[in-house]
Amino acid sequence: MSRVCLVFLLAGFVWHPGCHYPVRENVDAVICELALQPRDLQPIEHAAATTSSPDGTLSTCQLSTLSSSTTIDPVSWKNRANAPDATPPKLNIPEALHPGGPVPPIRIPTPNDKNREQREAAITKLYPPLSGLGEDPTDPPGSEGKPLSLSDLQHLALTNSPDLKQATARVEEAKGLAIQAGLMPNPILGFEADTIGTTGGAGYVGGFLEQTIKTANKLQLSRAAAVLQVKLAELELVRLQAELATKVRTGYYSVLVAQESIRLNRALVRFFTEVYNQQVEMVRKGGFAAPYEPMFLRAIATEARAALIQARNRKVAAWKQLAASMGLPGLPPTEVVGRLDVAIPAYQYNEVLARVLTTHTNVRSALVEIHQAQLELELARRTPIPDVNVRVMLQKDRTAPPFQNSPSVSVGVPLPVWDHNQGNIVSAEAALVRVTENLHKARQDLTSRLAEAFERYENNRVILGYYRDQILPDLVRVYRGVYDRYQQDPGGRGESPPSFTDVIVAQQNLAQAVSSYITTLGNLWQAVIDVADILQTFDLFGVHTPTDAVAEIPDLEKLLALPCVHPCSPLPHAHQKVIDRTWPQAERGATALPPPTSALPPPKKVEPENQPKPDRSPSKTSSTVPILLPPLE
């Protein structure tokens, strides 16, 4: 019994180390450590700003001032000349254009004392009041009674993302494989009996110990290649962190854009409804508006209501997408804090590209893969070198007295006669050529992605300034002027007064401009997010700058040459030219927005002597570009 216990104790000692590796604890510890790091801390004035005014009016564009400027004075309305007596041709509207059924013509009794009630009843039936807007959905605050900031959402994503936990587990998995790759083969302990029964006895009885000794540093090469696989897994974890941050930022700003769209469309609905009601009053008083005019305005007001419904549903969908990206698909809508009309991060194209081409995980992974392929090729070349098998045996001679112990030793090596590992060597050489091109491929892909994102960044940055400073203010004034003149001004000499069509066109242009403003604002933030995604920065606003983001910007002309060669190309060395560092300003005159200053630390350079040094005081240098909209006159 004691021997059995000893065997189990020995087995437990041998197998015990493989049963208690704290892999799960290590994965959770890494996730918790990542979640403690601050991400996307917003400026104080940004986080403290409210998303809408208490009464729900459009404070940024002050469209509510339009309705107050269109008060009606019935006495001052212009007289309309009666059209000459003529019988117009009958117009047949195809049934496909009124799918709701036959549309009766407009019939309103002529105003007089006898049919006043019939006229009022007809007007009420033709122009019913528009339905109420209903309440916009309000979201409760977060668990601590505060709205969630972008940094709070990033924290939730880091602690709940399944992708991040899987990537962390893959790092631990690679570490385990790296440990295993460098271990010596286990020795073989066995029992052996020879010449049994030759002389009627047990023969030679004993045990042996056999060990394979790896030569030519093959274990060290194998472990080095596996350690680089750990590095690749760690870079993949960094890439997924950046990808997760981008998803959260996209969802967050989608929610903010939807909130802004609700606020703007609600203000437009109120404004258009008021104009519709005023036009109905003009018809009711008789002779001041054609009976079809309120219907046109009602159609526009109803379209604005449809846009409001779409904006409400867009917010619901945006929140659900945001919650799903954080790994919390069942999280109910929660109030978020932040504004869209705040300073945006400012980027310089050449600085961003220099950073991307040296620090992006795709570039760093390509370099690691090249080194790993080189190690695996060397390992394949050394594999044919024979390993040494050593065997030590001790036997008891049971064939004849005096039954002495007989030790023996054998040493053997395989002869590389047929198998020189030539197939694996060819495969490893081809793999090295393949991964060598990955660095070239990564740089060209990143350059292309940045060019596309920076194009949208520059376009929307300038266009948004146009809407802020020119388009919206001008269209507000145009609409106000057209409507006031339509009501009051009969037209001067050589001029024709504005028609109802002019009012409609001005109103539609204003609504379209507000919609385009919202779209441009959302597109600008999406471009900012995409540039930050290519930069793989965890600090969108520059409040908390990671250590690795303050390094000196690399010299683009001194980047390491690509290891790949293209001898058949008409320009065999052109791929070694890393970038074209120029990106000319889209607007060379007075810019609609201030020209961007660097969101990255400037490169060090030597100032020439006897030259005045530029003033780099904080008051004149900023890492953000403001996009606040001023009040309209």
**DSSP codes, 250-284:** HHHHHHHHHHHHHHHHHHHHHHHHHHHHHHHHHHH
pLDDT at 238 over 80: yes
The residues near 351 (Cβ < 8 Å, ≥ 6 apart) are 553, 598, 600, 602, 603
* pLDDT tens digits for range 412-425: 999 988 999 999 99
3 state SS of 408: strand
- The pLDDT mean for the chain works out to 74
Distance CA 434, CA 441 (A): 11
pLDDT at 159 over 70: yes
Q: What percent of the chain has pLDDT over 70?
A: 66
CA nearest to 576, candidates 557, 593, 592: 557
Residue 550 has a pLDDT of 28
How large is the average pLDDT for residues 549-558? 38
Q: By CB neighbour count within 10 A (0-12 exposed, 13-18 middle, 19+ buried), where does 40 fall?
A: buried
Residue 514 has a pLDDT of 82
* Structure token pair of residue 138: 């309000």
Residue 90 has a pLDDT of 53
Domain limits, the chain = 22-63+124-625
Which residue would you say has higher pLDDT here, 551 or 128?
128
pLDDT at 41 over 90: no
* pLDDT tens digits for range 458-493: 999 889 888 888 888 888 888 888 877 777 765 444
Distance CA 265, CA 58 (A): 9
How far does Cα 108 stand from its chain's mean position?
57
CA nearest to 508, candidates 266, 268, 260, 291: 268
Residue 619 has a pLDDT of 33
How large is the average pLDDT for residues 211-218? 92
Which residue would you say has higher pLDDT here, 40 or 546?
40
Distance CA 559, CA 577 (A): 10
Residue 225 has a pLDDT of 94
pLDDT at 569 over 70: no
What is the pLDDT confidence band of residue 366, given thresholds at 50, 70 and 90?
very high
Specify the pTM.
0.71
What is the pLDDT confidence band of residue 342, given thresholds at 50, 70 and 90?
confident
* pLDDT tens digits for range 160-170: 999 999 999 99
Specify the DSSP class assigned to residue 628.
P
Residue 98 has a pLDDT of 46
Q: What percent of the chain has pLDDT over 90?
A: 30
Residue 566 has a pLDDT of 58
* pLDDT tens digits for range 424-452: 999 999 999 899 889 889 998 999 999 99
* pLDDT tens digits for range 86-104: 454 554 555 554 455 555 6
Domain 22-63+124-625 class?
Answer: mainly alpha
How large is the average pLDDT for residues 32-56? 62
What is the pLDDT confidence band of residue 52, given thresholds at 50, 70 and 90?
very low
The CA distances from residue 236 to 135, 324, 355, 359, 547, in Å, are: 45, 21, 18, 13, 20
pLDDT at 497 over 90: no
The CA distances from residue 425 to 133, 380, 421, in Å, are: 73, 5, 6
How far does Cα 619 stand from its chain's mean position?
31
Residue 13 has a pLDDT of 47
Amino acid residing at 99: P
How large is the average pLDDT for residues 321-342? 89
Which region among 28-37, 167-176, 183-192 has the lowest average model confidence (pLDDT)? Answer: 28-37
Find the farthest-apart pair of alpha carbons in the chain and give their distance in angstroms, rounded: 148
Which region among 61-75, 490-504, 581-595 has the lowest average model confidence (pLDDT)? Answer: 61-75
What is the pLDDT confidence band of residue 153, given thresholds at 50, 70 and 90?
very high
pLDDT at 532 over 90: yes
Query: Which H or E element spans position 426?
Result: helix 422-466
How large is the average pLDDT for residues 494-513? 78
Residue 582 has a pLDDT of 58
Residue 277 has a pLDDT of 83
* pLDDT tens digits for range 601-622: 443 443 434 444 434 333 333 3
The residues near 567 (Cβ < 8 Å, ≥ 6 apart) are none
- Polymer length of the chain: 633
pLDDT at 518 over 60: yes
How large is the average pLDDT for residues 61-71? 38
Which residue would you say has higher pLDDT here, 9 or 402?
402
How far does Cα 122 stand from its chain's mean position?
55
Q: Do 58 and 263 form a contact (C-beta atoms < 8 A)?
A: yes
Which region among 136-145, 180-189, 509-518, 589-598 has the lowest average model confidence (pLDDT)? Answer: 589-598
pLDDT at 64 over 80: no
Residue 303 has a pLDDT of 87
